[in-house]
Amino acid sequence: MAKENSRFETLAIHAGCAPEPVTGSVNVPIFQTSTYAQRGPGDHTGFEYSRTRNPTRDALEANLAALEGAKHGACFGSGCAATDAIMHCLSVGDHVVSADDIYGGTFRLFDKVYRRHGLDFSFVPAADTNAYVSAMTDRTKLVWLETPTNPLLSIADIEAICAAAKKRGVPVVVDNTFATPYLQRPLELGATMVLHSVTKYLGGHSDVVGGAVLASDDAWMERVKFVQNAAGGVPAPMDCFLTLRGTKTLAVRMDRHCDNAGQIAELLVGHKKVEKVIYPGLTSHPQHALASRQMKKPGGMISFVVKGGLESARRLLQGMKVFTLAESLGGVESLIEHPAIMTHASIPRELREARGLSDGLVRISVGIENVADLADDLQAALDRA
């Protein structure tokens, strides 16, 4: 179907999704089965049991691998389960260097689960390339990057950090959830593995929770695939189908997310109630040049600080008409949230403030609605604040 050298938009629709051979079904069927009939003992079709392999999941894994330019893909029941599968490949005493401003659930898994299992972590400022380099020791077995970060949208220099890690033979994982493979190509910049919460932009419709690991490194993917089957954090066939439906429109959705976000960022910059706007597409962003080089477009996420702290932020968030007050991101609908109260409440206040997560900070996931409606809604909210 899709030729090897097809371009992104074509791969998104066709990779892994050839018409089903028996009926010609244009869409990959939801193979809602746990097991497969064998012709004789051990004489099977390649499918034995759905934790190990399922055709709908095979299609999604091939599709996502193609989008990231990877040889292999492994899908999971959530982004956290995908992270867990990578961490399961490490052993007691191993050291991991990670960005500090990472997804809260990733930090919780590292800090509360894997520390207890004997792994050691150093957390460094996401945008400080030298900090990653100086934190690496002889025991370092993994570098964990997330860029842009959440919710401060710091940008890590993937190419520079991967080059430094490579000199020490240390693999690098990039959580590419915020950017998607349409905007950012970590494997081409030297990363060993890419991780996704497909719950966000890849699924794109806020109707499925899932995760994925994509890589070309045979040895690493063999380990991840082993854990996928051994620990069993796999996605259901229906969820794989929904995610595949999402990826078909990834490119057009991302273009609109980015266009809308650019216009919303400009509106915020010009508003007297707004103290600061954080968006990689603005020249005021500290890593604007790096973001422009590393990402095709600046993405659909914006954070801003409203004047008047918590009380202003509360007034702003209450009674929005088009934006939905909710956690998560990356769906077609615009979402707004307050990190200090909602997604990042588990971080102690002093630590939050030291990292710039002030009480006036608001994060928005700009959807693909008509941007004038989004602007009107935000304008009214700011007037209330």
Amino acid identity, position 237 = P
Window of 11-19, 48-56, 86-94, 101-109 that interacts with ligand PLP by CB under 6 A: 101-109
Select which of 57, 185, 200, 256 is catalytic.
200
Q: How far is the CB of 42 from ligand PLP (least distance, A)?
A: 36
162 in Cβ contact with 168 (< 8 Å): no
Q: How far is the CB of 70 from ligand PLP (least distance, A)?
A: 18
CA neighbor of 326 nearest in space, from 315, 311, 341, 312: 341
Window of 78-86, 130-138, 247-255, 288-296 that interacts with ligand PLP by CB under 6 A: 78-86
Q: Which residues contact 43 (CB under 8 A, 6 or more apart)?
A: none
Q: How far is the CB of 199 from ligand PLP (least distance, A)?
A: 4
- Is the Cβ of residue 31 or residue 103 nearer to ligand PLP in the bound state? 103
CA neighbor of 327 nearest in space, from 309, 308, 346: 346
Residue 98 near ligand PLP by CB under 6 A: no
* Subset of residues 134 to 193 that bind ligand PLP, contact rule: CB under 6 A: 146, 150, 175, 177-178
- Strand 324-325 and strand 335-337: pairing? parallel
Q: How far is the CB of 103 from ligand PLP (least distance, A)?
A: 4
For the chain, how long is the longest CA-to-CA vector? 74
Among 63, 78, 147, 365, binds ligand PLP (CB under 6 A): 78
Q: How far is the CB of 168 from ligand PLP (least distance, A)?
A: 25
Query: In this structure, how many other beta carbons lie within 10 angstroms of the beta carbon of residue 384?
Result: 14
How many angstroms separate the CA atoms of 128 and 99, rounded? 9
362 in Cβ contact with 337 (< 8 Å): yes
How many angstroms separate the CA atoms of 323 and 306, rounded? 17
The gap between the terminal CA atoms of the chain, to the nearest Å, is: 53
The reply to whether 175 belongs to the active site is yes
Residue 303 near ligand PLP by CB under 6 A: no
Q: Running DSSP on this structure, what letter comes out for residue 288?
A: H
The reply to whether 51 belongs to the active site is yes
The reply to whether 218 belongs to the active site is no
Residue 211 near ligand PLP by CB under 6 A: yes
- Is the Cβ of residue 181 or residue 211 nearer to ligand PLP in the bound state? 211
Active site residues per annotation: 51, 103, 175, 200
Which parts of this chain interact with ligand PLP (CB under 6 A)?
78-80, 103, 105-106, 146, 150, 175, 177-178, 197, 199-200, 209, 211
